[in-house]
Structures are given as C-alpha cells and as structure tokens.
Amino acid sequence: MQPATSGRETRLRGPNVETAGRMPAVEANLMTRTDRNAFSPARAWAWVALASALSGCSAQVDSDYQGEPLATIRGTVALKSGALDGDRPVNAAILWVYQDSANQYQPKYVGDRISVRGSFPANFTLDVYTPPPAAAQLTTDETLEGFGISIPAATPLGVWTGFLVAIDSQASDADVTLSSIVGVDVDHAIVYVDGGVKPLLNGDPITTESALQGLRADAVRPFAIGTSPGVGFHLAKMNPQYQAAMRTSRDCLWADACVHVSTADPLEQAYLDWSFQRCKERFPQNPSCSMEQEPRVGEPASSIECRERYGQKDHSHCNIDLTQVYIENPSGLGDPITIQIGTSLFDIGG
C-alpha cells in the first residue's frame, strides 16, 4: 500500500473512480474501450441484502410516522416515446448497484420508492428514510499493508453508488432485474457517504482511519461532489460534454452496420441487445447481421460471414479523449431530475 502519496492507485471493489456507473466490456472488435465503459459504475458497470434495511422502504406508506427523511428528491417521470401505457403503475426509486463475485456491476437493490401514476410527465417527491443496504457499499479489493497498518480485503468503505430509475411497481426490493427497469435519469448518479472523507497527502499521519478516509476520497472523487463531502446523500451530475462525445463515438461505431452479437453471459447479452436496438433506431437504413461473440466449431455460416464483414473493423478512430464523466453540481439534490420512460441503464453516459 502507498497511502503516503495520493492513494489513487488503490484498487477498490466497486465502480472505478473514472467510470463509476457503467456496465462491463463485451465485444472488443465492435466497441471501443470508451463505448464499453459508457455505463460507469460508469466500469461498464458492493452488499448482503439486509431485510431490515429493505423492508418498509416505500415512501408511499401513509400510516405510521417515519420520522424526518434523510433526504428529499423531487423530479419528473416523462415518456421518451409511446413506450409505456400511461395507466401502468410505476415507482420512482433509488436503485443501488451491486458487484457480484465475478466483479460485474449490475442493478440489484431498490432503496426508497414512490408510486407514480396517471398521465406523463408526472412529478414526484421521494422522501428517503433509509440508508442503502450495508451489503451494497464499496469495499477494498485486496489486503492493503504498510506503514504499520493492515486493511483486509473486502473492508467496507462506507460509500455507495446508484441511480434514479422508474421500475415496475411489482419489482422486488432485493433482487431487481433489468427487465423491471422501465426508465432512468441519464443525467445523474446517487452517491451515499457514511464516514469521514479526506484525501491522504504526503506528510499526513498514517493510521487505519486516515487510510480509510483517503480510500473514500478516491471512491467519491470522480463524482465531483467535493473533496470532503458530508455524511448523507449526494447527487452527482453527468458532464454534458462527455455525454455529447459518447453519442458521437457511438454514431461512429454504428455508422457502417448494426451487428447483433450473441454471448452466453446474460448481463453482457443485455448490453449487446441494447446496442443493436439503439443502432437500428439511430441508423434504420444500416445493413445488419448477427454473429456469435466467439468463433466455434459448428458456428453458422451467417455468423462467420458477419464477423468477417463487420466484426474485425478497426474502430479506434471512434475513441474519445474526454474522461471527466461528472461535473460539479452546485444545486445538489435540488438539481432538475427527469426519469425518462423508454431509456435503460445502458443509456447513462450518452
């Protein structure tokens, strides 16, 4: 461990500090590094579900005073297109991201939620009464030793990341599926901090607590919520320049053809399905074909032909250099929030 410098090289089990909020990389020959990391925790994309933390989370309960809310979030649920029946009940909710044993990030736990009904756009006010589930927080990726201290692997850091979404009203609090997410706020991420945050600089005393505070500082740095954010909920704002650059990058990737790639991993397949759908929406006149992600004996000739025609193209010129995913958000939780029905978690970042 090198806590006496900046701590920036410390590896964390959680969304990468430069790409928090994204889903995993999938097809190297069809997507640039930037595109694969478009949904950060942002890297293209930590907790045991505590029943006590997840039960009774609904902000729509009318009986029994719940005390003062930890935070209040106001926003609008709108339709991206005619993708949803306006009479269908949905919930505006906080969705916390989970890292599984294979180090893949995926939606997992619903925090507080509130019912949104009727015509869209519809305004909502979400009073948050519960902190995120303990099992969802970032942890150290490995044992860190040095300077007379030792921090074991999987040590909780007291930092959580998530997103504002619209989900099916019948969706489970403790095991969310991608299909139950019907819309997202593509312009923000939610960060929860439970502990002191202070960058560890040269000359600072090295203690277990100062090292943990430095690790928390590394974890929250990419979200631009301040060098020492207080305990509680914070709203991180996406950089519009980054979003525009990502759209340009994807247009570059999809300009030649819309290729549907098949793989065995469900999470990667969900991303590949989304990418193909968005390509067809953006370039409806594009040629299209389907191919398997990995060559194999007995692979259909059409898959082989698709790979030979489009799968090996060099898309390095589609990369973008802009890495500042989030910008400062002076409005905090008061920044305008719009959850758009018809968007998915993969739309975050551009």
Q: Residue 63 above 80 pLDDT?
A: no
Distance, in Å, from the CA atom of 117 to the CA atom of 227, rounded to the nearest integer, reads 39
DSSP state of 308: I
Say what percent of the chain tops pLDDT 90: 41
Q: Which two three-digit tokens encode residue 1?
A: 């461990």
pLDDT over 60 (residue 296): yes
Burial 106-124 (b: 16+ CB within 10 A, else e): bbbbbbbbbebeeebebeb
284 or 42, which is more confident? 284
Residue 82 is predicted with a pLDDT of 53
Question: Is pLDDT at 299 greater than 90 in this prediction?
Answer: yes
pLDDT tens readout for residues 98-126: 765 555 566 667 777 888 866 778 899 99
pLDDT of residue 22: 33
- Mean pLDDT, range 76-88, rounded to an integer: 69
Enter the DSSP assignment of 103.
S
In the structure, what pLDDT confidence band is assigned to residue 312 with cuts at 50, 70 and 90?
confident
Three-state SS for 177-234 is CHHHEEEECCCEEEEEECCCCCCCCCCCCCCHHHHHHHHHHHHHHHHCCCCCCCCEEE
Mean pLDDT for the stretch of residues 170-179: 80
With a CB cutoff of 8 Å and minimum separation 6, the contacts of 137 are 14, 46, 47, 156, 157, 158, 159, 160, 194
Say yes or no to pLDDT of 29 above 70. no
| Stated pTM of the model | 0.77
Helix, strand, or coil (residue 80): coil
Rg (CA), the chain: 21
